[in-house]
Chain A
Amino acid sequence: MLKGVIVILLFQLLGETLVALLQSPVPGPVAGMILLWLALAIKGGPSKDLSVVSHNLIQYLSLFFLPAGVGLFFLPPELHQYLPALISAMVAGTLVAMLLSGWLLKSLARSPDSTQTRTQVRNPARNPADQ
């Protein structure tokens, strides 16, 4: 467990340092994710320990957004007049964007070179940690 935590925190630190050096708009954790992905590609896969820690963290991804979500109920009073605009933008805007991007994705993925791979999705995953 601890080994996995050390690897993840190390790559987050690497990512944040790299982003600070390059003055990039990409956040440190995302840079850390890319660096860890590269390291896994070079090393040829995660250790059992790293897989377990990663799985446990991802399982609670939604929870980590909860404090920020509560904030929407405590907007500064001067923004209350814009609540109808905010809510309609979030609800209708998301529905429109999902339908458009879904339609686009479905049309693009229907091209011949990607349909033949569709049957392979049910194959057992390459890594035993998936089962």
Chain B
Amino acid sequence: MDAIRGLLPHNFLPDNFLQSNSLPSNPLLWLLLTLACYQAALWLYQRCGRRAIVHPIATSAPFIALLLWLSDIPYRDYVAANQLLYFLLGPTTVALAIPLYQEFHHIRKLALPVLLTVLLGSAVAALSAVGIAWLVGANRLVLLSLAPKSVTTPIAIGIAENIGALPTLTTGVVVFTGVIGTLLSPLVFYLLQLRDMRLQGVLLGLNAHGIGTARSFEIHPTAGAFATLSMGLTGIFSALTLPYAVRLF
């Protein structure tokens, strides 16, 4: 709290206002800060020509973490204050049916390559993460929590609970993977000389789930629809296979 007080001009707020601790404990402040930080990050992103390297989540998440740390607010209080944003993830997932329907005539023509890539690609995504972490020396809980890393959050949490992983760790890993996948996508597209926006969408949805899908919608609505499809297929396929796959190890 003292850190925040230090940022404000002298006598900016009445003394009793701060002493009663009503401002930092008001959930509305933290929802407002999340929205304001994201808006500022979005502004920076647009000013930099929507370069993946300044993705709004990559810039706003560390900044909010710093604010929480400075003002000594527990993360669980911050989560409770931002329940509205968690909730909106559900209706937004349902809303993806509309672009999926509108772009379906494009999707039908590439259905087989997309389906095969998602089947193999979601297995590669899980295996490469778990394999590398195992080589570097992670324990079983961390390995399990990494397995659903490329699966969109609501599905990943369900998988994490099912396979005995730590859901809070999985959630963080999933979001970080989405940001990393989006940041790496221009490099990957360059290395593979991948210029077809439909295929770019498939890769973003497969490896960077919702965050990659949001990025694909910025490329083109058709890319967004392909990302939606591959995100959904990756999620459903992983939910059906991962609980059985982990029993083998």
Contact = CB atoms under 8 A, between A and B. Distances in A.
Interface of A: 5, 8-9, 11-12, 15, 25-30, 32-34, 36-37, 40-41, 45-46, 50-51, 53-55, 57-75, 79, 82, 84-86, 88-106, 108-109, 111, 114, 117-118, 120-121, 125-127, 129-130
Contacts of B203: 98, 101-102, 105
Interface residues of B, number: 114
Given A79-B142, A117-B110, A28 B121 contact: no
A46 B101 contact: yes
A53 to B, nearest CB: 7
Contacts of B92: 57-58, 60-61, 64
B207 A98 contact: yes
Contact of A99 (B88, B188, B210): B188
B164 interface: no
Nearest to B155: A27
Contact of A66 (B61, B155, B232): B61
A55 B98 CA distance: 9
Interface stretch (B2-10, B14-22, B177-185): B177-185
Given A82-B138, A93-B125, A114-B109, A75 B169 contact: yes
**9 A-B pairs closest in CB distance:** A101-B121, A72-B172, A93-B129, A73-B65, A108-B113, A29-B93, A36-B97, A69-B175, A85-B138
